[in-house]
A = this chain, B = another copy of it.
Amino acid sequence: MNSAILLVKILDLIGTFVFAISGAALGVERDMDLFGVLVLAFVTAVAGGIARDELIGAIPPESIANWHNLALAVVAGLLVFRFSKSFYRLQHPVQFFDAAGLGVFAVAGTQKALDYGINWPMAAVLGMISGIGGGMVRDMLTAQVPTVLRADVYAVAALAGALVVVVGSSVGLQPILCALVGISLCVFLRLMALYRGWKLPVASSRPPGSKQD
């Protein structure tokens, strides 16, 4: 069990860092000031994990009980703020870091929910929430409809990664192996959606002219 706990901890730190970058990059894009960027970095990084911890009863949540996640998010935010020019040169940096954070958080969140004795369907959902929660709050804070509800294969990629952990755990596979496969699957699905246009079906039976945009 020790290795599983250590694994969750390490994944949590990596996910925190990449999501903080994703939040900070959006903050810079929206012309927020330094503190706004740091707040957005921190919120994006920890909102999903805090939601998960509050829901499974791990209170105070990990990222409140210690200050490591805060420090990581601040460092990530400062880096993005200082080197925002370079971040712009990279193509779609927000989307890539978002995909990586999504996979890492979904897998780590599922593992933690299972450790707390949550039943497997809800453990997978809690993993998904860990993954999509930060981005949803980030988008709500910048007053846009969360990517998760619009983007093709976003939440479903997180859920796929979470399900790998659930299935792997039930058949007794190595946690570290399941984690790597789950993260890879999630990132793969998300990148396929972004660059190959993989989509989920949209209800096609709407009467013409009823569009609301």
For A164-184 the 0/1 string (1 means CB < 8 A from B) is: 000000000000000000000
Q: For the complex, what is the distance from the CA of A54 to the CA of B58, rounded to whole Å?
A: 11
CB pair B40–A149 under 8 Å, yes or no, is yes
The reply to whether the CB of A195 lies closer than 8 angstroms to some CB of chain B is no
CB distance from A20 to the nearest CB of B (A): 14
Stoichiometry, copies per complex: 3
Q: For the complex, what is the distance from the CA of A65 to the CA of B126, rounded to whole Å?
A: 11
The reply to whether the CB of A121 lies closer than 8 angstroms to some CB of chain B is yes
CB pair A203–B141 under 8 Å, yes or no, is no
Residue of B nearest to A86 (CB): B205
The reply to whether the CB of A8 lies closer than 8 angstroms to some CB of chain B is no
Q: For the complex, what is the distance from the CA of A59 to the CA of B61, rounded to whole Å?
A: 13
Which residue among A31, A88, A203 has the maximum number of chain B CB atoms within 10 Å of its CB? A203
The reply to whether the CB of A196 lies closer than 8 angstroms to some CB of chain B is no
CB pair B155–A67 under 8 Å, yes or no, is no
The reply to whether the CB of A30 lies closer than 8 angstroms to some CB of chain B is yes
Known: A140-B141, A143-B143; 6 extra A-B contacts, CB below 8 A, are A33-B200, A33-B201, A34-B201, A66-B122, A85-B205, A143-B144
